[in-house]
Amino acid sequence: MKDRIKTHVEGLFQDAPHTRRVREAREELLAGCLDKYEDLTAHGRSPEEAYEDVISGIGDVTELLRAIGELDAADPISWERQRQKRALFVSFGVFLYVLALGATALAVGYVSAQLGGVIFFILIALGTMLVVYGMVSTRTERYTTFSRSGEERTTMSQEITAQMVSGSRNKQLEKAVSALLWPLATLCFLCVGFLFHAWHPGWLIFPACTVAQLLVNLAFAKPGHRRGLAVGILWTASAPVYLILSFATGRWDITWVLFPLALCVQQALYLRRVWRNSDEK
């Protein structure tokens, strides 16, 4: 009888796309059905009755699929459009890669190796940006379609959840910003390096970028997570900040003070938390 339940549940998901989320939803639903079946039979229902109860209790699976967001994503039209968009960005990115090789060869041959280097890295960076953007922006599609089905939500409780879902859309934005940050930093580093031969202080853009990345994470963090994240950022950021300050000022004898300072800030944050908690009580 359990196999019958399993077959039935698998049949319900037959037309759903084969994604991890769908697979997990199917497993969870099956576990729930089996739990119910065992419970019903343990309380004296006959296997046949229990089976009927379990099957009729499942309800409309499209409701579940819609919540996962796979239903809209599985819609052939929007799926196709997404695929086209991604293909466009990726192929244009690859085109830039190829162009980079050709243009570099020409520049090195007829003008100078330096110009060749600059052209090469600018085009590679632009290409990477396009590829990354193509990937990130099409992945957000699922969330936009998810919110479209949110128009049905009218009740209070679902409004609150809907508001919190908009937070997860911020997460997609965070990913996009983060993805652009590093190619941009690389671009800056290479331009400054090739144009002004400033490789040495120039590399400090990477520690600076690390700090920027952490600040982006903090800015997009949910209020509840922010506190824990702040302490982590404090420590991760100290090292790059230390490097930047030290190279910029040349005062290695003083800049190490940053680390004890960071410790003090951490303790201060901790004390403030303890203080607040005791206030609340």
Residue ranges in contact with other proteins by CB under 8 A: 6, 24-25, 27-36, 39, 57-64, 66-68, 146, 154-158, 160-165, 167-168, 222, 224
Nearer to other proteins, 35 or 80 (CB): 35
Nearer to other proteins, 172 or 210 (CB): 172
Q: How far is the CB of 67 from other proteins (least distance, A)?
A: 4
Nearer to other proteins, 68 or 126 (CB): 68
Is the distance from CB of 50 to CB of 37 less than 8 angstroms?
yes
Helix axes 76-110, 113-139, angle to 10 degrees: 170
* Whole-number Å distance between alpha carbons of 260 and 167: 35
Q: How far is the CB of 176 from other proteins (least distance, A)?
A: 18
Nearer to other proteins, 9 or 107 (CB): 9
What tokens were used for 214?
């952490």
Rg, C-alpha atoms of the chain: 28
Q: How far is the CB of 24 from other proteins (least distance, A)?
A: 7
Q: How far is the CB of 3 from other proteins (least distance, A)?
A: 11
Q: How far is the CB of 154 from other proteins (least distance, A)?
A: 8
Is the distance from CB of 126 to CB of 96 less than 8 angstroms?
yes
Nearer to other proteins, 165 or 179 (CB): 165
Tell me, rounded to whole angstroms, the distance of Cα 117 from its chain centroid: 32
Nearer to other proteins, 66 or 85 (CB): 66
Q: How far is the CB of 226 from other proteins (least distance, A)?
A: 11
CA distances from 30 to 9, 16, 43, 51, 174 (A): 6, 15, 20, 13, 35
